[in-house]
A = this chain, B = another copy of it.
Amino acid sequence: MQPENSTTAADPSMSSKDYYFDSYAHFGIHEEMLKDEVRTLSYRDAIMQSKHLFRDKVVLDVGCGTGILSMFAAQAGAKLVIGVDMSNIIDKAKRIVVDNQLSDKVVLLKGKMEEVELPVDKVDIIISEWMGYFLLYESMLDTVLVARDKYLKPDGLIFPDQATMHIAAIEDGEYRREKIDFWDDVYGFNMQAIKEVALTEPLVDTVDAQAINTTDCVFKKIDILTVKKEDLTFTVPFEITCTRRDYVHALLVWFDIEFSACHKPIRFTTGPRGKYTHWKQTVFYVPDEMAVDQDDVISGTITSKPNEKNPRDLDISIAYEHDGQNGVTTAALEYHMC
Contact = CB atoms under 8 A, between A and B. Distances in A.
Interface stretch (A19-27, A145-153, A248-256, A258-266): A19-27
A92 interface: yes
Interface in A7-30: 7-20, 23-24, 26-27, 29-30
Nearest to A133: B2
Contacts of A276: none
Contacts of A245: none
Given A4-B29, A192-B99, A10 B310 contact: yes
B68 A189 contact: yes
Nearest to A92: B193
A129 interface: yes
A190 interface: yes
B27 A198 contact: yes
Most buried by B among A13, A29, A186, A193: A193
A203 B173 CA distance: 34
Nearest to A25: B3
Contacts of A335: none
Contact of A190 (B3, B40, B100): B100
Most buried by B among A4, A24, A182: A4
A1 B137 CA distance: 9
B19 A10 contact: yes
Contacts of A194: 27, 30, 66, 92, 96
Interface in A190-209: 190-194, 197-198
Contacts of A193: 92-93, 95-96, 99
A33 interface: yes
B1 A132 contact: yes
B3 A309 contact: no
Nearest to A65: B1
Interface of A: 1-20, 23-24, 26-27, 29-35, 40, 44, 63, 65-66, 68, 71-72, 92-93, 95-96, 99-100, 129-133, 137-138, 140, 179, 182, 186-187, 189-194, 197-198, 278, 309-310, 312-313, 338
30 contacts: A1-B24, A1-B33, A1-B63, A1-B131, A1-B132, A1-B138, A1-B140, A2-B29, A2-B132, A3-B23, A5-B6, A6-B138, A10-B23, A10-B313, A11-B310, A12-B16, A13-B309, A14-B16, A31-B179, A34-B186, A40-B187, A44-B187, A66-B186, A66-B191, A68-B186, A68-B187, A92-B194, A93-B193, A99-B190, A99-B192
